Amino acid sequence: MAIPSRIIALDGEMATVEAFGRTRTVSLMLMPEPVGIGDYLLIQAGNFASERVDHERALETLAILGEIVDHAEN
């Protein structure tokens, strides 16, 4: 399952992304289009960004996943 991750920093073909308070560095080399700070991406295994996600869709998905995690922990 891919979790939308928000770009918080860019450095050439690499980006630092954040999701649920965790950050990681991912490669942008597979991205078919330019991306910017604040964009949401789907990350494949191996830490490769593969797709930009619409902002509203990303927030909806994160809210649903957050509810699932909260429910599973209780």
Question: For 33-57, what is each residue's pLDDT tens digit?
Answer: 999 999 999 998 889 999 999 999 9
- Please answer whether residues 40 and 6 qualify as being in contact, where contact means their C-beta atoms are separated by less than 8 angstroms: yes
Q: What is the pLDDT of residue 66?
A: 87
Strands (E), 1-74: 5-11, 14-19, 22-27, 40-44, 48-53
Given a cut of 90, is residue 1 above it in pLDDT?
no
Residue 32 DSSP code: S
